A and B are shown apart, each in its own frame.
Chain A
Amino acid sequence: MLFYSFFKTQVGQQVTVELKNDLAIQGTLESVDQFLNFKLKDIRVVDEARYPHMLSVKNCFIRGSVVRYVQLSPPTVDTALLQDAARREAQSTQQMQQGKPAAAAA
C-alpha cells in the first residue's frame, strides 16, 4: 500500500505517465486507486501528431497495468520520507511474519 499512499500525496500535481505502448500523457493527477489506476485532468499528449485519437480527450482514466513510468516533479517528492516509510513497512512485515504485533506506526 506504500505506493498507493505515496501517489495519493501527489494528487493535484502535474505528472507525466508513460504507457507501455510508448504513449506519454502529461496532466494533473486527479485520483489514484489501489491498482494504481490513474485519472488525469487537462491532459496533453507528448508527440500529439502520432496520436490523433487523443486530440479530443481532456480527462482520462489510465489502467494501472499498462503504465510503464510516472514522471513527477522533484520538489514534490520527499525521498527521505519515502526511504523511511519503506524501512518501516519492511519492519512491520517482518514482525508480522514472526507473529509479533506490528509496531505502531510512528
Chain B
Amino acid sequence: MSFVPQFFTTAESLVDSLDKKLLVVLRDGRKIIGILRSYDQFANLVLQDSLERIYVGDAYGDIERGVFIIRGENVVLLGEIDGDTEDALPLRQLPIEDILQMQREEAEEKARKDKLRFQLLHKQGFSVDFTDTDLY
C-alpha cells in the first residue's frame, strides 16, 4: 500500500496537532476550542472538552460543548493555541449571559445598518440581495 502516504498527506500535516488544544474556526463564524483527538483526510475532526467561545468587541464568553465532531467541509482553519500569549491577552472574560446579550445587540445593530444601506442602494437603482449569503 505504498500509495497511502502519498494520497493522504493531510494526515502528516495534522498528526503533530493531535492531543493539543486547538482553536477551530468554522464557516458560520463560530470558534471552537478543544483538544484534537482524531481527524481524517477531509479534516473531519473530533474535539474533546470543547468550548464555544463568543467574541464581542474586546470581551468573550465560553459555552461548554463537550465532545464535538466537525464535518471537514465546515472547517476554515485550525490554530494551535500558544499558552504564553493566551494568558496575556487584552481581552476580558464575561459571564455567558452577558456575552449572549451583547451578541444579540450587535446582531440587531448590524441588521439595522444593513437595512439602511440596502434602502439607499435600492433607491439608487442597485439590485439588492437580501438573503444571507454564505461567503464560502
The residues of A with any CB-CB pair to B shorter than 8 Å are 19-23, 31, 33-35, 37, 39, 52-63, 65-66
Contact = CB atoms under 8 A, between A and B. Distances in A.
Nearest to A34: B9
Contact of A56 (B7, B77, B78, B89): B89
15 contacts: A19-B77, A20-B135, A31-B13, A33-B9, A33-B10, A37-B10, A52-B60, A52-B91, A53-B25, A55-B90, A57-B81, A58-B82, A61-B77, A63-B76, A66-B76
A66 B106 CA distance: 26
A47 B29 CA distance: 17
A96 B23 CA distance: 45
Contacts of A39: 13
B43 A63 contact: yes
Nearest to B73: A65
